Amino acid sequence: MAIGPLSSPRQIASGTTAGAGAAPPALRVASVFGWLSQSVLAERDRWPLWLPVALGAGIGLYFSLYFEPTPLFAAALGISGLLLGIAAIGTETPLPKAAQALLAAALIGFALAKYRTDSVAAPILAHRTFSVVEGHITSLELHGKGVRALLDVEQASRLSLNGYPKAARIFIRSGGGALVPGDRIRVRAVLLPPPEPAAPGAYDFGRSAFFQQIGAVGFAYGKPQLLLPEHIGLGDRIRIGIQGLRWRISNRIRSALPGSTGSIAASLITGDRGGISDDDQTALRDAGLAHVLAISGLNMALVGLGLFWAVRAFLALFPGLALTQPIKKWAAVLALCSTAFYLLISGASAPAVRAFLMLATMLLAILIDRPALSMRSVALAAVILLLFQPESLIDPGFQMSFAAVASLIAVAEWERSRQSAETATTSWAKIRKYIRGGAVTSLVGSLATAPFAIYHFDRATHYAILGNLAAMPVIGFVIMPAAAVSVMLMPFGLEAYPLHIMGWGIDAMLAIGRRVSALPGAVSVIPAWPMSVLLLLTAAGLWMIVWRGRLRWLAIVPLVVAGGLLAGLRAPDILVARDGKTVAFRNAQQRMVFVQKPSDEFSATEWLKRDGDALVPANAIAGPGDHIGCDSSGCVVRLPSGSMLAVASRQDALDEDCATANVVVSAIPTRGRCARARFVIDRFDVSRNGAYAVSLHDGIHVETTRQRRGERPWSTTAPRRQYRRINPTSLP
């Protein structure tokens, strides 16, 4: 028998062995894994960038649970993570070492999130109540025709000593203008629990309030009564002092620039966004300029680096000083101190902290004569923020801020890798380079933040590049320099002059925002995405950003899967609000319409937005063409699927509705009288379970906000009601 030539390893890997049509599947899999490991090993310098991703994965896993893990379990995971990290240090083989480090970071992230939750846990109000509340005002912000005060609660009538919230946010209409942070007041108020999501999967305001230790929200009756101050701890005094400084600066700004212009100026300097008109916020948002109102990388860079450049340029005017002294380091120290002060008076939000940490890393690198590692500074900022505030991971500001900055740095790295040594010399070349840089920055930032904007806000802007190109010169050369000068001159009472210049710039920015937002198709309202789609898109984006070789193109896999999930997405057919009276259904045109005028305006607005509908609730009421009939006792709807929906508001209609309808929504208690209906939602159900989302595809599928939130410290713990099981095949 003749024996052919032996196959080479390359032939085996490629499936072109002699005398065979293809390699066995096991060899193909081994070939793929071999290529992956070689590609990963080739980019070892990028491995540290995955540590904040792993840390965030552990934190995200904690927040995704539907139950609260025990402290012992979380501690065990944290200790395991520490031991695994120590073991990774002693591991020599690169890939196992990296895997151990990433798993250790994920376990530590889970434990940190649990520890943070337990450390901030405070009582949450369980039901609406009227109370006389006493406490210190820790922060104030304008809100409508009054102020919104955050109180550290000391006493609250009608609530037990261990049951009243640690902090409450109360709207004060009468007499609020005379208050300042640090005042101790007594106020009569209606208190409510922090609001639940308007629909299953919607934004959870209650969870956000929990991590601020806000256990109640409400509104005051009458004027607050000032009380004599009491002794408070040093930490609280510092916190209230900073908030008082912010409030005084904001008031000085608004006194020089009244109206919405002054409120925007205050937002850019102190982070206080109260008082900005809805029209101005909408114009800036739809023009892609909403990021300007948030203290983030743009603001921090313009203040810190602008001061760094100005100080260094001024010192360079003195040759004897510039040639003998490290003026670059002097400028870096002054810029670092100024940005730290800016961080304090701005409220230290997650984007502001991220921007400060990145800028501080760069300035510290100047001080020690080391080059700044931009992408590593982003990773370092993320790690520090997640270590101290793990809940930042689920904050839209954190997600959008890091997505934009990491994407911009990745593009800058790519640009550096392909740029020639040629530099712009002529004025026109410099202008063209500036325009191109602004366009690329706006495009990359918009694309990077679009998935998060769609998920959290159900909106997408289409002219953000145009809006930013037109507004950035005004922001960079007029608004922010004037803001920095006004703060420096404020102790001398001379802030009015630069503030007026800042006001002219803000008016110009608003004019640009209104013009761009008025263009046809400036914004689209997009149906809500599930969390799985956002996670897949985030994974794809991270994969593209971190890796630099051909390995990055594997990001196409999660992108395709996300597209498939979106293609098969099916919205609910019936929505019921927390009040049990606001009910919407999907008509034959696949649009959400309301059975009657909604009493819960906020939930109704959120539903339409999450459904991708730009209508206001008043224009989305069902009509005769939607097969609906109403009388004084309620409404009956024949849905496109043929099922019957009954919405009962009176007892006399309940028996008939229960006999004919598949789904009954009752604003009154049914008390077991509706056994003939296949599914019933009454007043007690919504009070226990929150809003309902009902799908009628292949049976009745029900989801509630209580189910979606799970049994977590930030959700209420009302007793569950037992329901009769639903047979999916019983519907027509």
243-246: long-range pairs with CB below 8 Å, 24+: 243/138, 243/139, 243/140, 243/181, 243/182, 244/180, 244/181, 244/182, 245/345, 246/139, 246/181, 246/270, 246/271, 246/272, 246/345, 246/346, 246/347
User: How many angstroms separate the CA atoms of 486 and 501, rounded?
Assistant: 10
Average pLDDT of span 581-605: 92
Average pLDDT of span 686-707: 90
| Lowest model confidence (mean pLDDT) among 32-46, 71-85, 206-220 | 32-46
Q: What is the reported pLDDT for 302?
A: 78
Place of tokens 């990145």: 358
Q: What is the reported pLDDT for 559?
A: 94
Q: What is the reported pLDDT for 13?
A: 43
pLDDT band, very low/low/confident/very high, at 211 (cuts 50, 70, 90): very high
pLDDT band, very low/low/confident/very high, at 432 (cuts 50, 70, 90): confident
Q: What is the reported pLDDT for 570?
A: 86
Place of tokens 């703060």: 487
Q: What is the reported pLDDT for 723?
A: 37
- By C-alpha distance, which of 205, 199, 67, 126 is closest to 704? 199
User: How many angstroms separate the CA atoms of 646 and 634, rounded?
Assistant: 8
* Amino acid letter, 207: R
Check whether 732 has a pLDDT greater than 80. no
The string of pLDDT tens digits covering residues 17-32 is: 444 455 567 667 777 7
Place of tokens 């510039």: 322
pTM reported for the whole predicted model: 0.86
Selection from 38-47, 301-310, 511-520 with the highest mean pLDDT: 511-520
* Amino acid letter, 490: M
Place of tokens 């002529």: 426
The string of pLDDT tens digits covering residues 373-431 is: 578 888 988 999 899 999 999 988 889 888 988 888 888 888 776 654 445 556 677 67
Mean pLDDT of the chain: 85
Q: What is the CB neighbour count within 10 angstroms for residue 555?
A: 18
- At 647 the three-state DSSP class reads strand
Q: How far is CA 556 from the centre of its chain?
A: 25
Q: What is the CB neighbour count within 10 angstroms for residue 415?
A: 11
User: How many angstroms separate the CA atoms of 693 and 561, rounded?
Assistant: 25
Q: What is the reported pLDDT for 423?
A: 53
| Lowest model confidence (mean pLDDT) among 176-190, 338-352, 419-433, 717-731 | 717-731
The string of pLDDT tens digits covering residues 564-590 is: 999 888 889 999 998 889 999 999 999
- By C-alpha distance, which of 334, 374, 342 is closest to 358? 374
* Amino acid letter, 240: I
pLDDT band, very low/low/confident/very high, at 109 (cuts 50, 70, 90): very high
Distances (CA, A) of 288 to 352, 454, 615: 19, 13, 21
Q: What is the reported pLDDT for 161?
A: 63
* Amino acid letter, 81: G
Buried b (16+ CB within 10 A) or exposed e, 253-275: bbebbeebbbbbbbbbbbbbbbb
